[in-house]
A and B are shown apart, each in its own frame.
Chain A
Amino acid sequence: MRSQTEKAWPVVGGPVGEPGEEAPPPVVELEGVSKTYGDVVALAGAGIVVRRGEMLAIVGPSGSGKSTMLNIMGTLDRPSAGTVRIDGHTVDALSDRQLSALRARTIGFVFQAFHLAAGVPALDAVADGLLYSGLPRGERRDLAERALRGVGLGARLHNEPHQLSGGEKQRVAIARAVLGDPPLLLADEPTGALDSRAGEVVMELLHTLHRAGTTVVVITHDRDIAASLPREVRIKDGRIEHDSAARNEPGTATGTAVGKAAVERVGA
């Protein structure tokens, strides 16, 4: 099923597999994407393809346009020019309602600031990850409990944010993001508000999710973190300066375990 859609959309401007090799289908496709705010050019003709099961870093200094790229990949913002396809859907053609539905089922977000509401226990916060998916509350909470156990917070189900450390908060946020097993996980500076030790734990969790098959895109300004990921895309002044996938064959070590619920396997 995926291979059909893959064939239907020729990949332009991104890494391509060996001829004849069945590369995993793309989750994110950006073609000549530009974004301007008035006179300010945030993105200038960026093109990138992220295939299912990949893990990559988009790295760049502050103001380089990496946050704009995350917003566009996450369909939170629309490009001024260029084409964006997320999980096979051309974003230009979708209404705001359809984009919301796309986000609800396809994209998980992890933010630097965690975005956990004060006074809400971890279990409910995570269960809200599927609030807009149409799943009944009981099932959402069951999934949330498993997801929290999966990120090692089985003992923290009923703790409120102020009772959790920064690293624990980010793990709650990650559990919320991957609750519905979305094909794409976007992490915006996931370690930006954490000390290095907590940051390592969070990065290890993202690696585990990746090994379990989730596509993980990490936006960071930290070159060390970027260098530790399988693929590194450097961005500067709104342009992609360097993409390590141009040298490394994409999708070689990935895509094997795709198809099973990531959360379950992380928890196992």
Chain B
Amino acid sequence: MSTVTPTRPRLTPARLSPADVVRTGGSGLRSRPMRVFLSALGIAIGIAAMIGVVGISTSSQEDLDRTLAALGTNLLTAAPGQSFSGAAAHLPDEAVAMVGAIDGVESVSAIGKTDAKVYRNDHVPKEVTGGIGVYAARADLPDTIGVDVTDGRWLTAATHRYPAVVLGAKAAAQLGVYGSGPDAQVWLGDRWFTVVGLLAPNELAPELDSAALVGWPAAEKELDFDGFATTVYARAEGAAVSDVQQVMGATANPENPNEVNVSRPSDALAAKQATDDTLSGLLLGLGAVALLVGGVGVANTMVISVLERRAEIGLRRSLGATRGQIRTQFLCESQLLSALGGVGGVALGIAVTAGYAGYQGWPTVVPLWAMVGGVAATLLIGGLAGFYPAVRAARLPPTEALAAA
């Protein structure tokens, strides 16, 4: 006994170990699983919404990055713009050769628009063009753009002189052509052309999707093609892309460099991605509102919990708990409740991201910072939501608390 109360005992409350703090905080949750589940669900929905938005946009970005990595970001195009007087300009004859001579250009190719139209057969009315353009294409086009031929083959030295055509993916679908070969014929410029190949869709050259491509000599011979390139494609060395981009306009048309539109298709792809940011921001805001509502739910649960457990508070005070220890218990309980929702929300958010990304054919990517941030945010919310109830619990006089039983 004398060791318990020495002559001048110092009355200092003992500290609870972290494990005891968590165990005590969790004790209130175990007894009411349904309420805990529903309160945590509110938080989980908010976190899941935010994780989902971040995850889906990251997955989409990752998909774009992979696409660009596969396609390359070093493709440049030069196309005639408008002349000073507003009339449609065209590139000079030697444009392709000039661009090909720029330092750092690995390969160059071109297409030229013809005035011909293509139809499924000779019975289709003239005005039903389906928006499919007929282009003369240089034989080296696939090497420069990197477009794949899904069926048949690209125009060869032989076929590009004859009425043979390669169709973009959309154009083929519109013309009802599902395979190449001698039987696949389309009505092009008032005569039958044989479809020798079909192209895969290509993000860097989407204009080819709804195009019918014929050989350059064939176009000049059969379709009254004027021989001017309307788009020059150039692959530049990685380090030289910007330099090439700067001089390409002047090189393609030295007389009127301002009549040339030079662009980098991969930039356009990335820009298209960026326009989704507004929607992402809106969805993130919605997630934040859901999280706030979830936090109010947790606060409500905690207030009720404190009211219901006054007797327990009284007992703990009689066992020697300080006000601070009671406050810590309820704060910890609130944070556990909230963190439970946070962890569930992260899991739900990952599931949503995986589901949507899988549906879109994207890789599933959820950034680690979003997951850590999500759980950290719930700890903060739990602390805020539990603060007032915890302070109330701590201020409850022990006698009043015990009398509540």
Identify B7's interface contact among A1, A76, A259, CB under 8 A: A1
Identify A113's interface contact among B5, B311, B316, B398, CB under 8 A: B311
B5 touches A101 (CB 8 A): no
A104-B320, A115-B315 known; A89+B11 contact, CB < 8 A: yes
User: B17 near A: Cβ within 8 Å?
Assistant: yes
Stretch with Cβ within 8 A of A (4 or more), from B19-27, B245-253, B271-279, B375-383: B19-27
Using Cβ atoms and an 8 Å threshold, which residues of chain B touch A88?
5, 9
Closest to A68 in B: B399
- Taking A71-B399, A113-B311, A134-B15 as given, write out 5 further A-B residue pairs in contact, using a Cβ cutoff of 8 Å, ordered by the A residue number: A97-B11, A97-B322, A98-B13, A107-B318, A117-B27
Identify A100's interface contact among B9, B13, B30, CB under 8 A: B13
User: A120 near B: Cβ within 8 Å?
Assistant: yes
B320 touches A103 (CB 8 A): yes
The contact string, 1 if C-beta is below 8 Å from chain B, for chain A 90-101, is 000010111111
A154 to chain B, nearest CB (A): 23
User: B2 near A: Cβ within 8 Å?
Assistant: yes
Interface residues of A in 72-131 (CB under 8 A from B): 74, 76-77, 87-89, 94, 96-107, 109, 111, 113, 115, 117-120, 128-129, 131
Query: How many of B's residues come within 8 Å of A, CB to CB?
Result: 39
Question: Can you report 21 A-B residue pairs in the complex whose CB atoms are below 8 A from each other?
Answer: A4-B7, A5-B7, A76-B399, A77-B397, A97-B11, A98-B13, A100-B323, A101-B13, A103-B317, A103-B319, A104-B14, A107-B318, A109-B318, A111-B402, A113-B311, A115-B315, A117-B31, A118-B31, A132-B319, A176-B319, A181-B1
A71-B399, A100-B322, A117-B31 known; A137+B19 contact, CB < 8 A: yes
When chains A and B are docked, how far (Å) is the Cα of A48 from the Cα of B9?
Answer: 23
User: A251 near B: Cβ within 8 Å?
Assistant: no
Interface residues of B in 45-98 (CB under 8 A from A): none
Using Cβ atoms and an 8 Å threshold, which residues of chain B touch A132?
13-14, 16, 316, 319-322, 325
A76-B399, A104-B13 known; A131+B319 contact, CB < 8 A: yes
Closest to A188 in B: B402
A76 touches B5 (CB 8 A): no
Using Cβ atoms and an 8 Å threshold, which residues of chain B touch A5?
7
Interfacial residues, chain A to chain B (CB-CB below 8 A) = 1-2, 4-5, 71, 74, 76-77, 87-89, 94, 96-107, 109, 111, 113, 115, 117-120, 128-129, 131-137, 176, 181, 183, 258-259
Using Cβ atoms and an 8 Å threshold, which residues of chain B touch A129?
319
When chains A and B are docked, how far (Å) is the Cα of A5 from the Cα of B322?
Answer: 27
When chains A and B are docked, how far (Å) is the Cα of A259 from the Cα of B1?
Answer: 5
Identify A119's interface contact among B12, B30, B314, CB under 8 A: B30
Using Cβ atoms and an 8 Å threshold, which residues of chain B touch A94?
11
Closest to A180 in B: B4
Closest to A115 in B: B315
Closest to B30 in A: A119
A119 touches B31 (CB 8 A): yes
Identify A128's interface contact among B5, B319, B402, CB under 8 A: B319
User: B312 near A: Cβ within 8 Å?
Assistant: yes
B11 touches A102 (CB 8 A): yes
A115 touches B405 (CB 8 A): yes
Residue among B14, B24, B30, B316 having the largest count of chain A Cβ atoms under 10 Å? B14
B398 touches A131 (CB 8 A): no
The contact string, 1 if C-beta is below 8 Å from chain A, for chain B 329-343, is 000000000000000
A97-B322, A132-B319 known; A87+B398 contact, CB < 8 A: no
A63 to chain B, nearest CB (A): 14
User: B324 near A: Cβ within 8 Å?
Assistant: yes
Using Cβ atoms and an 8 Å threshold, which residues of chain B touch A258?
1
B206 to chain A, nearest CB (A): 64
Using Cβ atoms and an 8 Å threshold, which residues of chain B touch A120?
27
A76 touches B30 (CB 8 A): no
When chains A and B are docked, how far (Å) is the Cα of A96 from the Cα of B264?
Answer: 73
Using Cβ atoms and an 8 Å threshold, which residues of chain B touch A109?
315, 318-319
Using Cβ atoms and an 8 Å threshold, which residues of chain B touch A99?
11
Closest to A8 in B: B7
Interface residues of B in 373-405 (CB under 8 A from A): 397-399, 402, 405
A8 to chain B, nearest CB (A): 9
A77-B397, A77-B399, A136-B17 known; A96+B323 contact, CB < 8 A: yes
When chains A and B are docked, how far (Å) is the Cα of A76 from the Cα of B396?
Answer: 11
Using Cβ atoms and an 8 Å threshold, which residues of chain B touch A259?
1-2
Closest 9 A-B residue pairs measured CB to CB? A104-B320, A134-B14, A132-B320, A98-B11, A100-B322, A101-B11, A76-B398, A115-B315, A101-B13
Using Cβ atoms and an 8 Å threshold, which residues of chain A touch B15?
134
B20 touches A137 (CB 8 A): yes
Using Cβ atoms and an 8 Å threshold, which residues of chain A touch B31?
117-119
B271 to chain A, nearest CB (A): 59
